[in-house]
Amino acid sequence: MAVANHLSGPHAFMLCSALYVDGTHGDNGRDVNDGFGPGAGALYAAIIGGQPLEIIAKIVDKGGYIGLRTLHAAMREGRADVLELLLNHRRIGRDVKVEEVVKDAEESADKEIITIVQTWADRKRKLDEKAKRSAGKRRWWKLLF
């Protein structure tokens, strides 16, 4: 908690919320998505607060919302490690559009971030295309019975 004592205002509150998820403080049953507006919970606070990857991973595992706001924060802070963790997680929010994430990565001009996002985008597009093809097949199969 010593880190939060040096901050004031809303960022101190959000950072305190992020620190409570750390194993040394326990999660105390707190909602990791509670914060100042959509996507501004403990995960966002931990990213902009420069918390270690281990704490961010714990927040994600506790249900921290992975949306555009958190992805943008990771890019803005130059946190390629965090961005990779978030993009490879199974619970990415519905508001995350591949084209928008790719555009933001390119605007960052960070080669490592661009590579991570391009790899994710290629994989996501392939999975989406495969899902569309298999969904069409399932519909025809259901008609037979």
Q: How far apart are CA 145 and CA 142, in angstroms?
A: 6
CA pair distance 35, 69, nearest whole angstrom = 13
Give the contacts of 53 (CB within 8 A, at least 6 positions apart).
81, 82, 85
pLDDT (0 to 100) of residue 143: 60
The rounded distance, in Å, linking the Cα atoms of 124 and 118 is: 10
pLDDT of residue 38: 66
Of 36-40, 44-48, 135-139, least confident by mean pLDDT is 135-139
* Mean pLDDT, residues 105-116: 96
How far is Cα 73 from Cα 64, in angstroms, rounded to an integer? 14
Cβ atoms of 34 and 17 within 8 Å: the answer is yes
Q: Do 115 and 108 touch, CB atoms closer than 8 A?
A: no
Which positions ≥6 away from 72 have C-beta within 8 Å? 104
Most confident of 3-17, 33-47, 131-145: 33-47
Quick one: tokens of 54? Answer: 């281990």
16 near 1, Cβ under 8 Å?
yes
Percent of the chain predicted with pLDDT > 70:
70
Q: Is the pLDDT of residue 140 over 70?
A: no
Second CATH level (architecture) for the domain 4-143:
Alpha Horseshoe (1.25)
Quote the CA–CA distance of 82 and 53 in Å, as a whole number.
6
Which of 106, 99, 45 is CA-nearest to residue 75? 106
Q: Which of these ranges, 6-10, 34-38, 75-79, 140-144, has the smallest mean pLDDT? A: 6-10
